[in-house]
Structure 1
Amino acid sequence: MTEHLDTEPENEPDPTCSAKGCTAPAAWDLLWNNPKLHTPERRKVWLACDEHKGSLSDFLGARQFLKDVVPHQG
């Protein structure tokens, strides 16, 4: 089974943090899925800077959506 990742298109400008209003470069990929909407192997991606990694992870974790946090390979 192949893991599905939703990522930014390659022709996009440098990716930035997904936190509202943040323009810092992405340093982390927060891999998540909503089990009510997505198949178990699907992974959606939020990007996070170092400052927002914790708060975005906490938000997804509180909903039991967070699956993994890995360094951004931008």
Structure 2
Amino acid sequence: MTAPVPDAVDELVCSARGCRADATWGVLWNNPRLHTAERRKVWLACDEHREHLRQYLEVRGFLQDVVPVADLERAAP
């Protein structure tokens, strides 16, 4: 089995609705009904929205991890 790898990210802007702040966190998640076990989708979060996005995914059983954006792979331009 392949180790989980987060999707590459483009613009480092918070994923919270209406927020345009710089993202400092990657909230990694996976919906097992839609994604393979090794897939990790990424929502980006600023410090203010990190906990809200984490809780939203955790309640649904989708949360996998929260990591600093420096640990995420950047998408090719």
Q: TM-score, normalised by structure 2?
A: 0.82
Q: Which runs of 5+ in 2 are unaligned?
A: 73-77
Match of 1:18 among 15, 19, 26: 15
| Aligned partner letter, 1:41 | E
Q: CA RMSD in A?
A: 1.5
1:3 aligns with 2:4: yes
Q: Residue 41 of structure 2 aligns to a residue in which SS?
A: strand
- State the partner residue of 2:52: 55
Deviation >2 Å, runs of 4+: 2-5
Per-residue CA distance 1:30-72 (angstroms, 9 max, x = gap) = 0100011111111000000000001000100010000000111
1:43 aligns with 2:53: no
Shift of 1:2: 4.4
| Percentage identity across paired residues of the two chains | 56
